[in-house]
């Protein structure tokens, strides 16, 4: 009788672990393919996870309330009906071979299709039979994964004596194996970092390169360096410690902040960032929105400026498809669909999530308004599905909602451009009257900042794109509403 592993899925590119909140089936119960098996919760998404196959649930390896890394095996299903339901502890799977280190400099050797999450558990590694209890903070303080703790126990190693190079100082598999090898050679292990050394991100982040032969995969990062794996290579980022003075408040970054830091640093390292800004007259859109608000409200739809901007963006992307693309090594991938990522501020502005409005170019103004409102509501109520947060090809972020004139956002990998929309406000501008005379007028104006990857998008193309946006918004066709 064949058994099928059920794994913790990755609910978004920057999410590395999830909490299994509830089992919807119990050991011995039969289940159909795609029938809901368990519920999970992450920092950004709550979801019901379907069964990958039909059969009988015979093993539950992660208890309710436990948080495990993505790709961890959480259960096993026997694929024939009537299978024995007695659970047994899984045997550890054979470790996959370590990737070959990149030769020469320690830099990325190829642009990844999506950011690599550091310290993620390999899909082929089975966890302990029962997940370790405790809160997320307890697990971070333990500074290790179940696999690492298992290796440490087998070699009688005190995990607290191992210097961790993973997220929040977590001890990775490479750290523990390097520590064990050092003990076998009779070398004294490196002392753990002092608790008062708080890593902070400097204004300028530089990439360090290795000297001589490439470092072995198990080698720990030097002091004051965050080592980020990138598509089989590694990127070393200097993060010096600062002195802690009396009265200073010290706070560890939470998991969302750490993932955001990694994602942003990765994007800055991959893409050659440039930002161009254009000023747009919104007077026509303001009047059109005012005219349509009541009509849309009657249909239960709140009409903001967002759908007008999204409509203009989709038209501009169709005319300039290089901004709706991704880079795959030395190839440019022009995406057939226009899937708009819409940045939504959640948790009182402390966090940001980017749900994706699929096939936005096929939607009317009403459809864009309905879709954007639904995604924003789901983001704020933490009810986004997995499909809601993947597949974006271009992102829009509204810095104007906080009163900012414009922004220079960081490209959301693996995309090549992101639009930051500034505040729409009344300003005195030079306009023309009915006779063509220059006059001083008060108009609703806004600055749009387009950040783009200069590897494939040139300044002229960015300017053409922004000018197209300006033209569509300043002359928005009323028959498009």
Sign of CA dihedral 112, 118, 122, 123: negative
279: Cβ–Cβ under 8 A, 6 or more apart, which residues? 445, 446, 447, 448
Please identify which of the residues 273, 335, 454, 471 carries the catalytic annotation: 454
Q: Which residue among 248, 458, 471, 479 is the active-site one?
A: 458
Please state, in angstroms and rounded to a whole number, the distance separating the CA atoms of residues 191 and 180. 14
Q: Could you tell me if 376 and 345 are in contact, meaning their C-beta atoms sit under 8 angstroms apart?
A: no
Distances in Å between the Cα of 284 and the Cα atoms of 18, 162, 303, 478 are 46, 63, 15, 10
> Helix, strand, coil % (nearest 5) of the chain?
25, 25, 45
Q: What angle do CA 266, 272, 276 make, to 5 degrees?
A: 120
Task: Give the residue among 77, 65, 191, 31 at the shortest CA–CA distance from 136.
Answer: 65
d(CA 86, CA 312): 59
Cβ atoms 421, 400 nearer than 8 A = yes
Whether 462 and 452 have beta carbons less than 8 Å apart is answered as: yes
Tracing tokens 């960032």 back to the chain, one arrives at 273
Rounded-to-10 torsion of CA 111, 117, 121, 123? -50
Task: Say if residues 270 and 111 touch (Cβ distance below 8 Å).
Answer: yes
175 belongs to the catalytic site: no
State yes or no: is 454 an active-site residue: yes
Distance CA 174, CA 431 (A): 65
Q: Hey, which residues does 55 pair with through a beta bridge?
A: 31
Separation of alpha carbons 68 and 139, rounded Å = 10
Query: How far is 200 from 198, CA to CA, in rounded Å?
Result: 6
Burial status of residue 373 (CB atoms within 10 A of its CB: 0-12, 13-18, 19 or more): middle
Distances from the Cα of 220 to the Cαs of 165, 170, 189, in angstroms? 6, 12, 11
Q: How many of the other CB atoms lie within 10 Å of CB of 336?
A: 9
Beta strands in 126-262 (DSSP E): 198-199, 207-208, 225-230, 233-238, 241-242
25 within 8 A of 19, measured Cβ to Cβ = no
Give catalytic residues, as residue numbers: 454, 458
């Amino acid at each position: 009788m064949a058994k099928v592993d059920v794994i913790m899925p990755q609910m978004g590119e920057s999410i590395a672990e999830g909490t299994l909140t509830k089992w919807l089936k119990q050991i011995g119960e039969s289940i159909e393919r795609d029938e809901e098996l368990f519920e999970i919760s992450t920092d950004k998404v709550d979801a019901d996870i379907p069964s990958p196959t039909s059969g009988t649930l015979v093993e539950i390896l992660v208890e309710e309330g436990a948080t495990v890394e993505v790709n961890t095996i959480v259960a096993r299903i026997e694929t024939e009906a009537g299978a024995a339901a007695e659970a047994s502890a899984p045997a550890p799977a054979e470790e996959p071979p370590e990737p070959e280190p990149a030769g020469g400099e320690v830099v990325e050797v190829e642009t990844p299709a999506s950011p690599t999450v550091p310290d993620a558990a390999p899909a082929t590694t089975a966890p302990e039979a029962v997940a370790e209890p405790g809160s997320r903070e307890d697990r971070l303080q333990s500074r290790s994964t179940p696999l690492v703790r298992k290796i440490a126990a087998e070699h009688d190693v005190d995990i607290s004596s191992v210097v961790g190079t993973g997220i929040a100082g977590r001890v990775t598999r490479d750290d523990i194996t390097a520590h064990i090898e050092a003990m076998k050679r009779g070398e004294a292990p490196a002392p753990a970092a002092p608790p008062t050394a708080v890593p902070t991100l400097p204004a300028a982040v530089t990439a360090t390169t290795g000297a001589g032969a490439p470092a072995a995969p198990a080698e720990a990062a030097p002091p004051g360096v965050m080592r980020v794996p990138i598509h089989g290579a590694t990127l070393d980022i200097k993060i010096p410690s600062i002195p802690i003075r009396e009265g200073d408040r010290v706070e560890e970054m939470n998991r969302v902040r750490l993932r955001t830091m990694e994602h942003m640093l990765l994007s800055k390292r991959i893409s050659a960032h440039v930002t161009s800004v254009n000023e747009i007259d919104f007077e026509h859109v303001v009047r059109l929105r005012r005219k349509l608000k009541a009509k849309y409200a009657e249909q239960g739809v709140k009409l903001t400026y967002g759908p007008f901007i999204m409509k203009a963006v989709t038209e501009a992307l169709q005319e300039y498809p290089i901004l709706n693309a991704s880079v795959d090594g030395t190839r440019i991938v022009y995406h057939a669909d226009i899937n708009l990522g819409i940045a939504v501020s959640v948790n009182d502005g402390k966090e940001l999530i980017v749900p994706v409005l699929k096939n936005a170019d096929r939607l009317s103004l009403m459809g864009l308004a309905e879709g954007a409102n639904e995604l924003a509501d789901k983001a704020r109520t933490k009810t986004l599905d997995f499909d809601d947060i993947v597949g974006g090809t271009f992102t829009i972020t509204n810095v104007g909602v906080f009163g900012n004139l414009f922004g220079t956002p960081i490209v959301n990998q693996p995309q090549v451009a992101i639009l930051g929309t500034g505040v729409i406000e009344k300003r005195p501008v030079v306009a023309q009257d009915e006779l063509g005379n220059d006059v001083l007028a008060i108009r609703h104006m806004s600055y749009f900042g387009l950040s783009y990857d200069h590897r494939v998008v040139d300044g002229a193309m960015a300017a053409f794109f922004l000018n197209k946006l300006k033209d569509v918004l300043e002359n928005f066709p009323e028959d498009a509403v």
